[in-house]
Structures are given as C-alpha cells and as structure tokens.
Structure 1
Amino acid sequence: MIMAASSEQIWKPYYPCDYYKQEYSDCTTVGHRFHSYYVYGEKPECGQWKKDYEACTAWMKTKSEEAKQELLKVEDRHLQQKYYVNPVWPRRVTPPKDWYLPVEEMRQKQKLQQQS
C-alpha cells in the first residue's frame, strides 16, 4: 500500500492489509501467548492488531480521510513501539564530543585515559 505523505509528515512504512491480519493471527497463537506470559508476565493484547486491520481495509475500500488518519495513527504507534522505545540504549541528544576522530586516535585517547 502506498499513501502520499503530506509535507509535515515524515516518511512512514505502509504495509498491505494482510500484514495486520497476519500479526493478529500470530498474536493469538498459543505459542505466542505462552511466550508473552513467560517473558512479560501477562498475555498479549491482540485486539489492536484486529483494529489496525479493519482501519487498513476501510482505507482500501473507501479512501476516506478518516480511514487514512486512523491508519497514520496506527503507523505512528508502531514506530513509537518499534524504534523509539528501547530499554537498553539511551537516546542521544547530541553527538559525542569527539565523533569526528578516526577510530585509531580514539583508541589511543582511551588507552591514555585508562593508564592515568
């Protein structure tokens, strides 16, 4: 599925409606539910995938502005979950001070700091 983004929107991936249907199907399997309960201590919420599929099919059938906005909200939510929520690595606000130095110079600098 390809939708034209307005000038204020950033590029977002758009998937065929079958993608949302498959995600819902995968989410409701016994194996996925067991894995989610084992890892997170709770069952996964699969209803949102079904709503996402319905929003996608509504967009494909009617091409209405409401359906388009709903699908854009879906993709925003997916991007937030996929790319912006990372419990392991903190997001940088600014680049490192010496980001422009070649790797070898940085290693030498680190060795000198460790020796002192």
Structure 2
Amino acid sequence: MDYDPSGVEIMTIYVLGSTAMAYDNGNLTTSDIKWLDIRPSDFDKHGLPSNVRVQMKPKEIKLVDKLLKEEFVICKTKWHEKLTKMRETKQKAEIQALNCFGMDYLTNVYLPRKLQARDWV
C-alpha cells in the first residue's frame, strides 16, 4: 500500500471494521492483515529518487497524530513505531513511485523480495 496516513486509516478499517457497516463487521474484518508497504527505509535501499518522496500536508500530519492516539495503534507497537517515524519524517510515498524502475519492478522485484523476507508489520 501507499506509505501515507490515509492508507493506514483504510487499513485500520479492514482490521476493526467501519461504523457504517457495524452490523456486519464480523464478516467484513480481517484481524490478521499484514502491513506491507513502501517505507522510508526502502527509499534509500532501492535508490528512490527524491522527486517521489512527498512531503505530507498539514491535514495528513493531523491524521497521523489522530492515529497515534487510537487505542488500537497504541497496543500495536510496530504500528505505533511506523506512524511515529512517518510523523517525524513528514514524508509519504505512493507505491507507484517504484514505477520509476519500470512497470514490472513492483510485481517482479519489490513484492517478491518483501514477501520472501517476511518484511511486513
């Protein structure tokens, strides 16, 4: 997924459910979801150019602050660490940033490496 606050917020809905669909959250949630995304440590590891590293807007920083206060996130140490890092760097990146290496880099190189290394949260 994208490395941004909105992506994390969407992922929490997959884990916890949504208010709008509360009547069926038991059938709609995925408690064992894995957080697999592009992250700051990947920026340098994969040599991502600086133009794909995007500064977060004030609204996005507020969303990170909100997420950091959520009980669910507080209980999930690694989630909290990643969001704290996101808050500190104030950077985000879209998974499409990997297209700078070619259209098949994501599916043929990046994801297979991540999955083989079990590099998720």
Q: TM-score range by the shorter chain?
A: under 0.3
Higher relative contact order (CA 8 A, sep 6+): 2
TM-score, normalization: structure 2? 0.25
Question: Which of the two has higher C-alpha Rg?
Answer: 1
TM-score, normalization: structure 1? 0.25
